[in-house]
């Protein structure tokens, strides 16, 4: 017998979400009524983000269900992290072709494991039939006037990126070609595909950047594009030093060094943060990051002109019509 909507919500979402909701203590009413009732911390501002994943567009049909659940929440937590917010609650809109229990079990596990890791509570949602589409709305809080924006950067600010961008894009390529990459050992292949399937939203990094970073974006469309957007919103130009890009050993093994740099600059799907810090606060940043388990790397700086430039050891690199695709050798 097909699982009804009520049983589905009850079994996969309400019951597992209940303990987390109780633990938070700021959800007077969660899943089960017409709407959730939430108790934001007194004096804080609410921060909200929503991202939708469509099968075939944002994930490969047949992706592991736990990866789909993880990514649906991860991309939203990443958006909150880019604001410096502390995440608290989320809503889930689930459109399913059929109530496949194997899918639901894996999906709910991937989603709720990540929720557990970050102490966020699923407080409600909607369930309908149709092509597989997942939308999550995440909400959190921040002290008034302290949110990190895209527009606060100033010429001379140092530009940083977290983690090792490009890994997720390489992981997606591996998944699409079903894993055939003889240049990689098993651990390297696993690392790259995991960075695509289970990206890490940089929540504690975002929180630590409040009061230090002048601007921040999350890297979802490629580092060069997103950093360029930050620069434009800040009324600045940008210079990226290609030799400073943090490349994972797996990415270099997969694509070679020029290819790895190209993926790091143009690959999407990472949940990394790109942010700017005035040079005078670089030491304060390092002190803040002692307790944040996330590497960050300075890759360049904002400039007073309006252009986005790439250089290697001081020599300009050509940027052709396809973006940062062409690495001319000096
Ligand atoms: P309504 O018809 O009033 O919108 P629903 O039957 O859609 O009610 O939902 C009943 C309850 O279950 C609501 O509290 C809703 O927030 C919750 N809910 C529905 N779908 C989901 C889901 N996919 N995940 C979490 N909660 C859900
Ligand atoms: Mg409804």
Q: Which among 163, 227, 230 has a CA at the least distance from the CA of 191?
A: 163
Ligand nearest to the CA of 8: 1
Kindly give the distance from the C-alpha atom of residue 128 to the centroid of ligand 1, in angstroms, as a whole number. Answer: 10
In terms of Cα–Cα distance, which of 90, 59, 82 is closest to 196? Answer: 59
Query: What tokens were used for 199?
Result: 């990206």
d(CA 21, CA 14): 10
Inter-CA distances, 34 with 38, 84, 103, 114, 185, Å: 13, 30, 26, 25, 51
Q: Report CA(141)–ligand 1 centroid distance (Å).
A: 23
DSSP 3: P
Asked if residue 92 has its Cβ within 6 Å of ligand 1, the reply is yes
Could you say which ligand is closest to the alpha carbon of residue 126?
A: 1
Strand partners, 218: 273
d(CA 47, CA 167): 29
The finding on whether 31 has its CB within 6 A of some atom of ligand 1 is yes
Q: What is the pLDDT of residues 149-171, one digit of tens each?
A: 999 999 999 999 999 999 999 99
- Paired residues of 161 in beta bridges: 274, 297
Q: Which of 111, 126, 138 to mutate to test the pocket of ligand 1 (most atoms within 8 A of CB)?
A: 126
DSSP at 41: P
94 CA distance to ligand 1 middle (Å): 10
Tell me, what DSSP letter sits at residue 55?
A: B
* Two structure tokens written together for 42: 């007194």
The pocket of ion ligand 2, defined by CB under 5 A, consists of 126
Compute the residue count for the chain. Answer: 330
Q: What percent of the chain has pLDDT over 70?
A: 95
> How far apart, in whole angstroms, are the C-alpha atoms of residue 263 and residue 261?
5
Please, which residues have CB within 8 angstroms of residue 145's CB and are 6 or more apart in sequence?
Answer: none
Q: Using 50, 70 and 90 to split pLDDT, how confident is the model at 116?
A: very high
φ, ψ for residue 256 (rounded to 5)?
Answer: 75, 165
Which of 125, 132, 135, 137 to probe ligand 1 with, by most ligand atoms within 8 A of CB? 125
In this predicted structure, the answer to whether residue 299 has a pLDDT above a threshold of 50 is yes
Alpha helices in 13-158 (DSSP H): 15-24, 65-83, 101-118
Which among 17, 32, 103, 127 is the best mutation to test ligand 1's pocket, defined by most ligand atoms within 8 Å of the CB? Answer: 127
* Encoded tokens for 311: 């250089």
| Gap from CA of 35 to ligand 2 centroid (Å) | 9
Please write the tens of the pLDDT for every residue from 194-222: 999 999 999 999 999 999 999 999 998 89
Going from the Cα of 104 to the center of ligand 1, the distance in angstroms, rounded, reads: 15
**Ligand 1 within 6 A of 127 CB?**
yes
CB atoms within 10 A of CB 223: 26
Phi, psi dihedral angles at 129 (to 5 degrees) = -95, 145
Q: Give the residues across from 93 on adjacent strands.
A: 126, 135
Q: Helices (DSSP H) in 198-248: which residue ranges?
A: 203-209, 223-233
pLDDT at res. 6: 86
pLDDT tens digits, 7-51:
888 889 988 888 777 788 899 999 999 999 999 999 999 999 999
């Amino acid at each position: 017998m097909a699982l009804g909507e009520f049983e589905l919500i009850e079994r996969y979402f309400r019951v597992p979400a209940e303990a987390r909701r109780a633990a938070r203590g700021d959800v007077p009413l969660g899943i089960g009524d017409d709407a959730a009732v939430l108790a934001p911390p007194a004096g804080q501002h609410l921060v909200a983000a929503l991202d939708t994943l469509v099968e075939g567009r944002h994930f490969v049909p047949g992706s592991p269900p736990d990866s789909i659940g993880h990514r649906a929440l991860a991309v939203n937590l990443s958006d909150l992290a880019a604001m410096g917010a502390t995440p608290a609650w989320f809503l889930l809109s689930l459109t399913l072709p059929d109530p496949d229990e194997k899918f639901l079990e894996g999906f709910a596990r991937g989603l709720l494991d990540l929720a557990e890791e970050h102490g966020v509570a699923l407080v409600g949602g909607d369930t309908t039939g149709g092509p597989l589409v997942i939308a999550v709305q995440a909400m959190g809080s921040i002290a008034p006037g302290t949110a990190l924006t895209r527009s606060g950067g100033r010429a001379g600010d140092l530009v940083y990126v977290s983690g090792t961008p490009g890994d997720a894009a390489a992981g997606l390529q591996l998944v699409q070609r079903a894993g055939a990459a003889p240049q990689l050992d098993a651990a390297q292949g696993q690392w790259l595909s995991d960075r695509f399937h289970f990206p890490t939203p940089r929540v504690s990094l975002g929180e630590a950047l409040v009061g230090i970073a002048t601007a921040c974006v999350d890297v979802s469309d490629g580092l060069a594009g997103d950093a360029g957007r930050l620069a434009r919103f800040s009324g600045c130009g940008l210079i990226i030093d290609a030799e400073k890009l943090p490349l994972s050993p797996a990415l270099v093994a997969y694509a070679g060094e020029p290819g790895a740099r190209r993926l790091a600059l143009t690959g999407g799907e990472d949940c990394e943060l790109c942010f700017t810090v005035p040079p005078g606060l670089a030491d304060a940043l390092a002190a803040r990051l002692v307790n944040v388990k996330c590497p960050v790397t300075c890759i360049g700086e904002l400039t007073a002109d309006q252009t986005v430039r790439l250089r290697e050891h001081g020599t300009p690199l050509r940027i052709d019509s396809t973006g940062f695709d062409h690495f001319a050798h000096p």
